Structure 1
Amino acid sequence: MIQLLAKVGINGFFFCLIGMIVLAYFYPSLGTEQSILHLPQVAEYGVSLIFFFYGLKLNPEKLKAGLSNWRLHLVIQLTTFVLFPLIVLAIGSLFPVDTSSLLWLGVFYLAALPSTVSSSVVMVAIAGGNLPAAIFNASISSIIGIFITPIWMSGLLEQQDANFDVSHVIVRLSLEVLLPVVVGYFLHQRLGKWVERYNSTLRMFDQCVILLIVYTSFCESFAGNMFSGHSAAEIIQLGFWMLLFFLAVFGIMNLVSRWLHFNRPDRITVLFCGSKKSLVQGAVMGKVLFPNPVLLGVVLLPLMIYHALQLMVGSMIAQKMGREEIER
């Protein structure tokens, strides 16, 4: 079980994320915009490198192999970018929720984000799902999210900031995220083998950049006393709702995939690609969508909780499905 958890992401990096929050609490001044270390600026350059290396890893043959199963792709992308936000909006209209709070904004931001890549693919492989389709959907989701996520967020952010310009956000994300991916993709044939050889080192680089983004975001939030109005009970309650959120989406996708008569490998792919949300994309887009760094740590909190839960609960479900496949 420990090896499985480590494989899907509950490893040293997972605990380092928690450590970054603790470090930011005790030493917030080191990660702010005013710090002599300029860590937020370092993180911005690191983000573009992350997505350049991501583009290098995209194999054109593997992407082509997953193109034909259009119904499967459509269900996964609609779940990621339509079902998630609609569930949150429905909860906000049916229950007495403070939709002006930053935590609520963070929950909706989580719902609007693309799917994660690595853990989705790993869990599909463990459970015995359609791996080429998982790779295709996880990859394409990251690109679609550059355009869809800002559009979903524009309504809420325009209410908070009349000067919010969604077109400016999309252009900036295209330059910082999409352009490096495209450049990397076209260099895959030349540098793809190099990326495979140093994949573990590059993965460590990715994780360091994400840790830096999390640290600087929470430094700004703690320095601005943004968590002073939130008790530990509220955070625990948020975790409970995030767990229900994950299980609800997982259950809905199971029903939809059975209703559409997907075979078992395709159903597994729907479940694990459709229910995940990307912490990497969330941290990266958050720096663009929320230019006030004081707000970002609070907004990222629901995503970080959901990220932890999707790894823990998802890994247990993937392991169970994998055992069932072996026993068949």
Structure 2
Amino acid sequence: MSARRLSAVLHRRLDWFLVGMAAAVGLAWLFPDPGADGGWMHPEVLTKAGVAVVFFLHGIGLPFAALKAGTLRWPLHLTVQACTFLLFPLMGIGLLALAGGHLPAGLRLGFFYLCALPSTVSSSVALTAAARGNVPAAVFNATLSALLGVLLTPLWLAANVAPGGAGVPLGPVVLDLIIWLVLPLVAGQLLRPWLGGWAARNKRFTQRVDRGTVLLLVYTSFCDSVKRGVWTGQGWETLAVAVAGSALLLTAALLATSAACRLLGFPEEDRIAAVFCGSKKTLASGVPMAALIFGASADTGLILVPIMIYHPLQLVVCGVLAGRWARREPEPEPREQSVTPDRSPQTGG
């Protein structure tokens, strides 16, 4: 598949997903009762089942065999993971320090939750391929980030910020993540030899199930928020702050990741992979993880606002970067003249 066609497929798939997110929020605003706590949809059961479905499909689709070509680039891998799980949380702490007490508690937690999330998998790899970057390294880092996030995301939350100012109950949260996230992921990997071919042939169907489940979780998360009046009095100021904060974080991440790669002397293909994997944050995993970590908290809808804004913003900006990098001139081949000085002493006596 050509880079142009791959990029087009990516954007077609994401268009309906972004529209679906807006529709899910709108439905939660108009009809919050079914998806709220105690509603006929039983979100306390639906949420965990949905998380299991999402990560079971991720387990079937994770191409570990394709990672072998990228496993030896450890300076690159350490740079990407440090940007995702160290630089980003530190930027989140700095952003909240600058904001002081002017942000609602749910939005403050949402910004830090965004910063603690792992990177995306599919779009990071697709954009790296479209920009003619190091695809094996992107596959390795995006997959590794998803696995590390199961532990590091709740650890960062437990160490810094929590709903209502209370500490995150790390033990129960990790246990829930293991049961409803890790075990389905492992089950998908174990069944990959039998189901991998089917998943590859029916990729459009599995993607629709995956994204549709995420949209359902977005709906139920916002239902409780609307039902409990979390959005009352927030107004457009909250949305404007979320957009500005997300744009600031994305800009800082892109500049810092690119600068680190140039400082370490990475080739252009590695820098492209690092920028896309190190600056992106996952909505597909972020929503299910939030459902497990924050449970039926009334602030869950507000907590999800930053990642729901950051998600389309990163796709637009990184899509523009991918198009620009795809048009770059190929690196020149070594010239024959570089070896002529070594031959001259032999020919000239």
TM over 0.5: yes
Task: Select 1:48's aligned residue among 35, 48, 52.
Answer: 52
Could you tell me which residue of structure 2 aligns to residue 186 of structure 1?
190
> SS state of the match for residue 34, structure 2?
helix
Could you tell me which residue of structure 1 aligns to residue 162 of structure 2?
157
Could you tell me which residue of structure 1 aligns to residue 10 of structure 2?
7
Displacement of 1:60: 3.0
Displacement of 1:51: 1.1
The letter of the residue matching 1:188 is R
Could you tell me which residue of structure 1 aligns to residue 340 of structure 2?
none
Could you tell me which residue of structure 2 aligns to residue 316 of structure 1?
320
Displacement of 1:285: 1.0
Higher Cα radius of gyration: 2
| C-alpha contact (below 8 Å) 1:47/1:284 kept by paired residues | yes
Q: Which moved more, 1:201-210 or 1:25-34?
A: 25-34
Moved over 4 A (4+): 1-6, 325-328
Displacement of 1:176: 1.0
Matched, 1:217 2:200: no
Could you tell me which residue of structure 2 aligns to residue 168 of structure 1?
172
CA, structure 1 residues 326+20, in 2 after alignment: closer, same or farther (shift >3 Å)?
A: farther
Could you tell me which residue of structure 1 aligns to residue 71 of structure 2?
67
| C-alpha contact (below 8 Å) 1:53/1:181 kept by paired residues | yes
The letter of the residue matching 1:262 is F
CA, structure 1 residues 97+319, in 2 after alignment: closer, same or farther (shift >3 Å)?
A: farther
Could you tell me which residue of structure 1 aligns to residue 30 of structure 2?
26
CA, structure 1 residues 95+48, in 2 after alignment: closer, same or farther (shift >3 Å)?
A: closer
What TM-score results when the alignment is normalised by the length of structure 1? Answer: 0.93
Could you tell me which residue of structure 1 aligns to residue 347 of structure 2?
none
Could you tell me which residue of structure 1 aligns to residue 262 of structure 2?
258
1:94-123 Cα deviation digits (max 9, x unpaired): 453447621011000000000011111111
Task: Select 2:249's aligned residue among 238, 245, 248.
Answer: 245
Displacement of 1:237: 2.8
The letter of the residue matching 1:138 is A
CA–CA separation in structure 2 for the residues paired with 1:303 and 1:100: 16
| C-alpha contact (below 8 Å) 2:7/2:127 kept by paired residues | no
Could you tell me which residue of structure 2 aligns to residue 205 of structure 1?
209
Task: Name the % identity.
Answer: 35
CA–CA separation in structure 2 for the residues paired with 1:178 and 1:274: 23
CA–CA separation in structure 2 for the residues paired with 1:36 and 1:241: 36
- Give ranges in structure 2 of 5+ residues lacking alignment: 333-349
| C-alpha contact (below 8 Å) 1:278/1:307 kept by paired residues | yes
Displacement of 1:288: 1.5
| C-alpha contact (below 8 Å) 2:163/2:294 kept by paired residues | no
- Give ranges in structure 1 of 5+ residues lacking alignment: none
The letter of the residue matching 1:38 is H
Displacement of 1:327: 9.9
Report the aligned-residue RMSD: 2.1
Matches within 5 A, 1:220-239: 220-239=224-243
What TM-score results when the alignment is normalised by the length of structure 2? Answer: 0.88
CA–CA separation in structure 2 for the residues paired with 1:154 and 1:130: 34
Could you tell me which residue of structure 2 aligns to residue 146 of structure 1?
150
> SS state of the match for residue 294, structure 1?
coil
Displacement of 1:223: 0.7
Displacement of 1:264: 0.5
CA, structure 1 residues 221+100, in 2 after alignment: closer, same or farther (shift >3 Å)?
A: closer
Displacement of 1:55: 1.2
Matched positions, count: 327
